[in-house]
A = this chain, B = another copy of it.
Amino acid sequence: MKYLCRIEFEFPRDMGGEEIAAYRARETVYVHDLQRSGAMESLFRVVGENANYSILDVESNDRLHEILTGLPMYPFMTISTTALATHPNSLR
C-alpha cells in the first residue's frame, strides 16, 4: 500500500554542528534500513529546498505513522501524507 510523503525539515538555529551531524547520521541509518526492507520505495530531494518526497510501501496507516514518527529527525520535520491507490494504467 503506497503513500506519498512530503517532508520538510529545519534544525533549530542554536543547535550545534556536532548535534546536527549526529542526527543526520542516525537518519541515514534509519532511512537505509527502510529502503532495504522495502518500506521506502523511493526518496528524492526537492531542488533548492530543505524538503524531500518519498514513496512508502507499508501494510497499514498505523505502520506508516510508526515509521514516520520514528524518524530520528522527526522532531524537526513537518510531514504531509497522501494516500495512494493503484493506477489502472500502471504496469508495475
Give residues in A with beta carbon < 8 Å to B. Answer: 1-5, 12-13, 27-28, 31-32, 35-36, 41-49, 52-53, 55, 60-62, 64-65, 68-69, 79-92
* Interface SS of A by simple majority: mixed
Assess the A35–B91 pair: CB atoms within 8 A.
yes
Assess the A53–B82 pair: CB atoms within 8 A.
yes
Determine how close the nearest CB of chain B comes to the CB of A86; give it in whole angstroms.
5
The residue of chain B having its C-beta at the shortest distance from the C-beta of A59 within the complex is B60
Assess the A43–B87 pair: CB atoms within 8 A.
yes
Roughly how many angstroms separate A82 CA and B28 CA in the complex, as a whole number?
24
The residue of chain B having its C-beta at the shortest distance from the C-beta of A79 within the complex is B48
**7 tightest A-B contacts by CB?**
A65-B85, A48-B68, A44-B84, A48-B79, A47-B83, A45-B85, A45-B87
